[in-house]
Amino acid sequence: MIDAKLVAGLVEEHLAGSGLFLVEVKISTCNDIDVTIEAENRDVNIGDCTEMNNYLCSRLDRDIEDYSLTVGSAGLTQSFKVPGQYRKAQGNEVELLVKGGRKIKNAMLEKAETDKITVSYVTLEQVAGKKRRLAVKHTESFGYEELLSVKNVIDF
C-alpha cells in the first residue's frame, strides 16, 4: 500500500510557494488515492488539479504499485480540516459545532490563528426591564480541538 505521508510530502513539495495548500490525503486499502487541495486567496481551478495529478503520476510508479488517483478541491459545504481553510474564511459567515453539542449559526469568523479562531455572532436576549428581546453581540474564541465542525454559510 502506498504511504499517505509520502503522497502528502510530494504534494506539499509541489505546492510550495504556489498559493495552494494541502487539505487532506486519503488512501484506501485498494490504493485509491484521494488528494484535496485549497487555494489561499482564490478558488482552485481544474488546471490546478490537473497539474497536481500529472505531477503525482510522474513521481509515483504504477509498475511498482498500481493505484488510482483523484485530485480535487475542498468542497464548499465540507467542514474545515486545516488552519489554512480557517484563514481563507476570515471575514466570512460560518456555522460552528462545538464539542458538547453547542451550535452557533451565522457567526462571523473574525480571526484565525495557529491554535484558535475568534468568531462574533448576535443573539436575541431578554434584557431586564425591556419587553422585547434585544440583539446582543458576542465574541468568543475557540481552540481547534474544541471544534467538531466549522463550515461556510452559503446564502443565495
Mean pLDDT of 77-95: 92
Mean pLDDT of 146-153: 94
As a whole number of angstroms, the distance between CA 79 and CA 37 comes to 14
pLDDT at residue 1, as a whole number: 82
The yes-or-no verdict on residue 122 having pLDDT over 90 is: yes
pLDDT band at 126 (very low <50, low <70, confident <90, very high): confident
pLDDT at residue 130, as a whole number: 80
pLDDT at residue 129, as a whole number: 81
Any residues with CB less than 8 A from the CB of 100 and at least 6 apart, and which?
A: none
How many other CB atoms sit within 10 Å of the CB of residue 27?
18
Per-domain residue ranges of the chain: 4-73, 83-152
- Are 73 and 56 contacting, i.e. CB atoms less than 8 angstroms apart? no
Choosing among 3.30.300, 1.50.10, 2.60.40, 1.10.357, the CATH entry for 4-73 is: 3.30.300
Of 33-42, 72-81, 144-153, least confident by mean pLDDT is 72-81
The pTM (predicted TM-score) of the whole model is: 0.83
How many CA atoms, within 13 angstroms, populate the side-chain half-sphere of residue 24?
15
Q: Give the cell for residue 3.
A: 504511504
Q: Give the cell for residue 84.
A: 489554512
**83-152: which CATH topology?**
SH3 type barrels. (2.30.30)
In sequence order, which ranges of the chain are alpha helices (DSSP H)?
Answer: 4-15, 46-59, 83-88
The yes-or-no verdict on residue 41 having pLDDT over 90 is: no
